[in-house]
Structure 1
Amino acid sequence: MSSRSGRDYLESLRDGREVWLDGERVKDVTRHPAFRNTAASLAGLYDLALDPGHAPVLTGEDGRLRAYGIPRSYEDLVARRTAYKTWAEASYGFLGRTPDYMAGGAAGFAAVPGAFTTERFDGAPHALAYHRRLADSSLYGAFTITNPPSAPGDGLVVRAVAERDGGIVVSGAKTIGTGAVFADEVIVGTIEPLAEDDVEHALCFSVPIDTPGLSFVSRPSYEGRARSVFDNPLSARFDENDALLVCEEVFVPWERVLTYRDVGATAAMWWRTPAYLNFVHQSATRFWTKLEFLAGLAVLLTRMNGTDKLPQVTQTVGRLLGMVAQAKAFVLAAEASFEEVDGGRGGVAPGQEISFAQRIMAGELYPRAVQEIKLLAGGSIIQLPASAQDLLHPELGPVVRKYLRAPGTDAEERIKLLKLAWDALGSEFASRHEQYERLYQGAPHVYLTMQTWAGGAEACEELARACLDSYGLEDGR
């Protein structure tokens, strides 16, 4: 068994899936200018796994991608993180929901299949089959687990509208399907807390992207708006897309239903299994990589501008490198504080307390890092030629090359670096990433509240209480 090739992956996307953009149905995401480069970048990840130099890192002894494995030890966690890092570096951290993200979630489900078993419905064999299906065929799984704004009874949120002998019929919508248009399957569920009696929306299932009645409405494509890779080096290649998922009487076979009409199981699949902790492990590794890229960008900018020796500049770069070290430390600490899953029967998972804390750090740190680098770059990232065509023009080119060079750097190299910086820091693509990193693991009011019960509060209280109890009024004499 081995990972599929990039060519195999691209061919799998030509399945007639219903994707909409700008009022147009996209016939083929592998050829459409709004999606083709990102699809090719994702295909490159699969090819990396077949490359002899990378295969030992990205795949296990069974030939499967390492991300699909259930870690049984600290060493397994480190090996999986090394695989995560390799893929993250291929997109400089800008592709977040790559196939290894949901692979970790599927491994989490398989680690504790009992979380899917209830009196009314037993989704355990389906969860195990989902993991096996993804792992055996190196499938790209995505999810849509956020509800659109709705009022009770308005029928906007995905729900079952009928039951049949072979499965259920579902209708409704879910939002922020990141990467879904590039995936093989999509999980449709909810991670938001549901009222105890809201069994109508308490369901989760996974279906192929080309399922009849299933459609995706894409947000604006930054790749589609890119002038060229030279002008938009990140957005032209790494726009993973976010889409609205719409179900119009979609038939879902019972064997693809993971939870059904059970609020407890619909929540437990994320929180009683290590699925969510596995998500954080992948995303924290990617975040660390992304900060490395941004810090490197800052170094290149200051050296080109000749400001790298100024004390205030070196301090800012030092602060950025400190942020990189923080991001790295959270990953290593989560691994080192690993916890047994289901009494050891489900292997191990990164430590919950550190994993939850990483969400707070990342959401607060990323905007600060972007702001610091913007200040280092100054106005130079604004005054740029409209496109590479200005440099290539026989009359205009020499003018641009004369006036937009810098000491020790010719105009082409200077413009190339500044366009990369703008794409990472100031473009619409960059704004999406800043907002996305703020909310990557949920809204602050959710994850900050969760941190209070993730562990540590009682120990902190006990230490403060010990100090308080170590003296009394008699010590005031």
Structure 2
Amino acid sequence: MTRSGQEYLASLDDGREVWLDGERVKDVTRHAAFRNTAASMARLYDLSHDSEHSEALTSGGVHRAFAVPRSYEDLVARRTAYKVWAESSFGFLGRTPDCMAGGAAGFAALPGLFTTDSFDGAANALAYHARLAEGDLYAAFTITNPRSGEGEDDLVVRAVAEKDGGIVVRGAKMIGTGAVFADEVLVGTIEPLAPGDVEHALSFSVPVGAPGLKLVSRTSYEAQARSVLDNPLSSRFDENDALLVCEDVFVPWERVLTYRDVESTAAMWWGTPAYLNFVHQAATRFWTKLEFLTGLAILLTRSNNTYQLPAVTQSVGRLLAMVAQAKAFVLAAEASFEQVDGGRGGVMPGQEISFAQRIMAGELYPRAVQEIKLLAGGGVIQLPASAQDLLHPQLGPVVEKYLRAPGVTAEGRIKLLKLVWDALGSEFAGRHEQYERFYHGAPYVCLTMQTSAGGADNCEQLAQACLDGYGPGAGQ
């Protein structure tokens, strides 16, 4: 059954070891660096648990992201649920609980890929999916290896001991987006491993509060926020990113998904629908985020009384075209769905379109941001330092007089401009631009993989058909 927001927040009091600025955080639900974002995550749970959106968000008492889709209609229903949650944070919370929920559903669709000669993780993969769904748990993931030099492979997570009940793991993983707010963290490897690198070929899931597990947080933009009015996005939607460090963490065998097998450790992402489910959630969120940014551009130009200028109208039209493009990728991926294991594992979004979405999003987001920055001009720079200026008995009237616009109060204009700056120009905004550029991996990886995603043969055949259709004796 779904949890309430309060039940979710209570679950975070588990002794987890989160570090920020050289200090251990005692309670992420109360700390100034995390509490507002934790509350935003809790609101997602409340939307599912008891709201006018509950029917769209859940089916059979669980979030729709956990369901293994069996038809095109199921994909659409899942996307509808993704959209509701994405709109709650205007697209700025990326790795919300529905992200890994879709990944776990991907594992459950094709559990046979977890069975190898050395280890059978099929039952564990199904149990992982069931545990998350039935407990309505928030699972994060860390699937990128830290960069290590020659002779430094001990930096990457690996098993250092086997026991009757499980394994002991040591090492680090990156990048734990949202991990400080999660119930569990899945540790694995999505990047290619050398054929014989069985030492690092493992994946498992552990509670974030597991003894020996540390999360080292990056700078908190929420902690730096002056107020919700001054930093309306970063004060509430900073999902954080953390380095995961395992210092002899014990992992029971039943929580191990792959072990000492390079092929299955990769296939859990690329051979099941898990990764395509990730893209489905991310593409829906990206579409929502572009809708929000375009809405900001419209509000901004209306406030500046420039909306009707031909050049501005064209710029807004360009942004609306980007929104339509982002939407089209989501709809096309659903419409081009593919069967999993001949239909026995349900269906998944089309790979060719899903892979192309990764390239489109990374290239489109910086263009959208640049377009709106040009529309914003210098107004987002010359703003009062904080909301306190508006409330000051002497300064308030001055601010009201000189910062208002025709038909817009100074408070309304300042709110809008501060929102625009937090979305486009703040350090929080800079993280989001970099985040969207590399959300699905480095461009050279996505571009290379696109060539094997389908479509190349048809393109080549069409061009060859043209060449074969004429020769030296063709009529003039």
Q: TM-score, normalised by structure 2?
A: 0.99
Alignment-derived partner of residue 441 in structure 2: 442
SS of 1:72's equivalent in the other structure is: coil
SS of 2:467's equivalent in the other structure is: helix
User: Matched residues in 2 for 1:152 and 1:205: separation?
Assistant: 26
> Which structure 1 residue ranges, 4+ long, deviate > 2 Å from structure 2?
none
Among candidates 101, 122, 125, match of residue 123 of structure 2: 125
User: Matched residues in 2 for 1:210 and 1:153: separation?
Assistant: 31
User: Matched residues in 1 for 2:49 and 2:142: separation?
Assistant: 29
Runs (5+) with no aligned partner, structure 2:
none
Cα deviation for residue 474 of structure 1 reads 1.2
Alignment-derived partner of residue 94 in structure 1: 92
SS of 1:118's equivalent in the other structure is: coil
User: Matched residues in 2 for 1:427 and 1:52: separation?
Assistant: 33
Alignment-derived partner of residue 161 in structure 1: 160
User: Matched residues in 2 for 1:356 and 1:415: separation?
Assistant: 40
Cα deviation for residue 476 of structure 1 reads 6.4
Cα deviation for residue 175 of structure 1 reads 1.2
User: Matched residues in 1 for 2:110 and 2:27: separation?
Assistant: 38
User: Matched residues in 1 for 2:249 and 2:155: separation?
Assistant: 14
Alignment-derived partner of residue 76 in structure 1: 74
Deviations 1:133-186 (A, max 9, x none): 000010000000011110244110101111111111111001110000000000
Alignment-derived partner of residue 33 in structure 1: 32
Is 2:238 the partner of 1:239? Answer: yes
User: Matched residues in 1 for 2:175 and 2:267: separation?
Assistant: 22
| Residues 312-331 of structure 1 aligned to structure 2 (within 5 Å) | 312-331=311-330
Cα deviation for residue 406 of structure 1 reads 1.0
User: Matched residues in 1 for 2:151 and 2:140: separation?
Assistant: 27
Is 2:427 the partner of 1:428? Answer: yes
Q: Give the AA of the match of 2:109.
A: A
Cα deviation for residue 473 of structure 1 reads 1.1
Deviations 1:269-322 (A, max 9, x none): 001100000000000000000000000000000000011011000000000000
Is 2:151 the partner of 1:149? Answer: no
User: Matched residues in 1 for 2:444 and 2:160: separation?
Assistant: 32
User: Matched residues in 2 for 1:153 and 1:112: separation?
Assistant: 36
User: Matched residues in 2 for 1:50 and 1:151: separation?
Assistant: 47
SS of 1:110's equivalent in the other structure is: helix
Cα deviation for residue 408 of structure 1 reads 1.4
Q: Which moved more, 1:399-408 or 1:302-311?
A: 399-408
Alignment-derived partner of residue 109 in structure 1: 107
Alignment-derived partner of residue 309 in structure 1: 308
SS of 2:65's equivalent in the other structure is: helix
Q: Give the AA of the match of 1:292.
A: E
Distance 1:409 1:52, change over 3 A: closer
Deviations 1:324-377 (A, max 9, x none): 000000000000000000111100000000000000000000000000000000
Alignment-derived partner of residue 188 in structure 1: 187
User: Matched residues in 1 for 2:207 and 2:150: separation?
Assistant: 29
Alignment-derived partner of residue 383 in structure 2: 384
Q: Percent identity?
A: 79
User: Matched residues in 1 for 2:323 and 2:15: separation?
Assistant: 42
SS of 1:473's equivalent in the other structure is: coil
Q: Give the AA of the match of 1:180.
A: A
Cα deviation for residue 52 of structure 1 reads 4.1
User: Matched residues in 1 for 2:49 and 2:162: separation?
Assistant: 43
Q: TM-score, normalised by structure 1?
A: 0.99
User: Matched residues in 1 for 2:211 and 2:143: separation?
Assistant: 20
Q: Give the AA of the match of 2:208.
A: I
User: Matched residues in 2 for 1:351 and 1:243: separation?
Assistant: 31
Q: Give the AA of the match of 2:242.
A: A
Alignment-derived partner of residue 464 in structure 1: 463
User: Matched residues in 2 for 1:45 and 1:370: separation?
Assistant: 27
SS of 1:453's equivalent in the other structure is: coil
Q: Give the AA of the match of 2:88.
A: A
Alignment-derived partner of residue 335 in structure 2: 336
Alignment-derived partner of residue 139 in structure 1: 137
Q: Give the AA of the match of 1:84.
A: Y
User: Matched residues in 2 for 1:78 and 1:407: separation?
Assistant: 43
Deviations 1:406-433 (A, max 9, x none): 1111100000000000000000000000
Alignment-derived partner of residue 272 in structure 1: 271
User: Matched residues in 1 for 2:174 and 2:267: separation?
Assistant: 21
Q: Give the AA of the match of 1:69.
A: A
Q: Give the AA of the match of 2:433.
A: E
SS of 2:279's equivalent in the other structure is: helix
Alignment-derived partner of residue 18 in structure 1: 17
Alignment-derived partner of residue 363 in structure 1: 362
Is 2:203 the partner of 1:204? Answer: yes
User: Matched residues in 1 for 2:101 and 2:351: separation?
Assistant: 19
Cα deviation for residue 475 of structure 1 reads 2.0
Runs (5+) with no aligned partner, structure 1:
none
Q: Give the AA of the match of 1:142.
A: A
Deviations 1:89-138 (A, max 9, x none): 00000000000000000000000000100000001111000000000010
Deviations 1:242-290 (A, max 9, x none): 0000000111111111000000000000011000000000000000000
User: Matched residues in 2 for 1:210 and 1:355: separation?
Assistant: 34
Q: Give the AA of the match of 2:224.
A: R
SS of 2:204's equivalent in the other structure is: strand
Cα deviation for residue 51 of structure 1 reads 2.4
Alignment-derived partner of residue 248 in structure 2: 249
Alignment-derived partner of residue 372 in structure 2: 373
Cα deviation for residue 438 of structure 1 reads 0.3
